[in-house]
Amino acid sequence: MDLSTTYMGLKLKNPVIISSSRISGDLETIRQCVSYGAAAVVLKSIFEEQMSLRVEAKLKRSKENEAYYWFSEAKEKVLSLSREAILEHYLRFVKAAKSIDTSVPIISSIHCKSADNWPKYARQIEDAGADALELNISIFPFNNSMTSIEIEDLYVKILKKVKQEVSIPVSIKLGPFFTNLCTITNRLVDDGVDGLVLFNRYFRPDLDIDTLKVVSREHFSSPEEMSLPLRWIALLSGRKIPCDLVASTGIHYDTALIKQILVGARAVEICSTLFQNGIPHIAKILEGLEDWMMKHNFEKLDDFRGKSLDFQTTDARFERIQYMKRDFEEIF
Ligand SMILES: Cc1cc2nc3c(=O)[nH]c(=O)nc-3n(C[C@H](O)[C@H](O)[C@H](O)COP(=O)(O)O)c2cc1C
């Protein structure tokens, strides 16, 4: 069986990519993922906002630094130097991750607060040896001062600026909250995005019904959620969008991976399933894929990539959003 695939010009030995989370923020767990067969790793995102918060908190804690607050220029200087130190630390991490196994591409993930900083970080990360960049752009779509189109403009602006700065491939990991995914993806493709990762699954607030306060805990995805990327990958690859598509969210088992490839995905990114089933689960997913390919006489992924779309006469199956009587007539 040949499980190999390509993604944004990178050669992957199979379609399983580790998505960005703390699993990919630690060299030891990255090593384990690689040893169980991961074909590529998206490193834990570097968050500009978190860097600033960390630096601010450190300065506040440190009594002797209080003087800086009297001189705003001095404070700015200290803040920028400390940010650079954190970035340096991240760049060393990229280098170390890259040296684990040179045949496993390392994709670095960045999230910046201001549009201007993305290119600067991107360039340094490329210099540190990352094979590709995944832009974790997530502009919260509840904003009185920006229209939907202005939010989309910002996605495009960030992409253009980063593309000008680097020569490695650049993907964007989108969230599902757009008024029209068709237009935003068209714009990103026109402006040179090499890959789209559909979708990021954001932090979800919950309430404690005793304290009535919001609690923050890790909520992992469930396997049923894979129908979200399934629909959009089917629709976009049905339109032969000239950009590599990767499915993320709810890919827990081999079956979900197979389905995403059947609608045209180049690869999948997995996260929650590793927290829930352990890192060795990667090998099980790959075994399941091989068994299924053997059963169906497929020798390579291209033998069945997008094949399911041949069996749907139109996109209607994936565009339907209402449950209608027809569903029940078909079932019973
Ligand atoms: C604990 C945790 C941390 C995450 N951190 C990041 C991150 O730093 N950057 C990012 O782009 N996505 C992050 N994600 C989102 C995942 O990469 C992934 O897109 C999402 O969980 C959906 O995939 P899944 O269903 O396989 O979990 C995180 C998810 C979890 C559960």
Q: What are phi and psi of 114, to 5 degrees?
A: -105, 145
pLDDT of residue 47: 85
Max Cα-Cα span within the chain = 76
How high does pLDDT run on average in the chain? Answer: 90
Q: Which atom of ligand 1 is nearest to the CA of 200?
A: 19
Q: How far is the CA of 17 from the centre of ligand 1 (A)?
A: 12
Which of 26, 139, 201, 257 for mutating ligand 1's site (highest number of atoms within 8 Å of CB)? 201
Whether 332 shows a pLDDT value over 50: the answer reads: no
Q: Which atom of ligand 1 is nearest to the CA of 44?
A: 8
Q: Which atom of ligand 1 is nearest to the CA of 220?
A: 31
- The stretch 320-326 carries a mean pLDDT of 74
Whole-number Å distance between alpha carbons of 290 and 264:
18
Whether 17 shows a pLDDT value over 80: the answer reads: yes
- The stretch 3-13 carries a mean pLDDT of 98
Q: How far is the CA of 249 from the centre of ligand 1 (A)?
A: 8
Whether 80 shows a pLDDT value over 70: the answer reads: no
At 89, which amino acid appears? H
CATH, residue 186: 3.20.20.70
pLDDT of residue 199: 98
Q: How far is the CA of 218 from the centre of ligand 1 (A)?
A: 10
> What residues make up the domain containing 146?
5-331
Is the minimum distance from the CB of 45 to ligand 1 under 6 angstroms?
Answer: yes
At 159, which amino acid appears? L
Whole-number Å distance between alpha carbons of 68 and 174:
39
Confidence of residue 86 (pLDDT cuts 50, 70, 90): confident
Q: How many domains does the chain have?
A: 1
User: Taking a C-beta distance cutoff of 8 angstroms, is the pair 108, 130 a contact?
Assistant: yes
- The stretch 161-174 carries a mean pLDDT of 96
| pLDDT tens readout for residues 232-270 | 999 999 889 999 999 999 999 999 999 999 999 999 999
Q: In the chain, pLDDT over 70 holds for what percent of residues?
A: 86
pLDDT of residue 216: 82
Lowest mean pLDDT among 10-14, 81-85, 94-98: 81-85
- pTM beyond 0.85: the answer is yes
More confident residue, 173 or 316: 173
Which of 271, 272, 282 for mutating ligand 1's site (highest number of atoms within 8 Å of CB)? 271
pLDDT of residue 258: 98
More confident residue, 62 or 134: 134
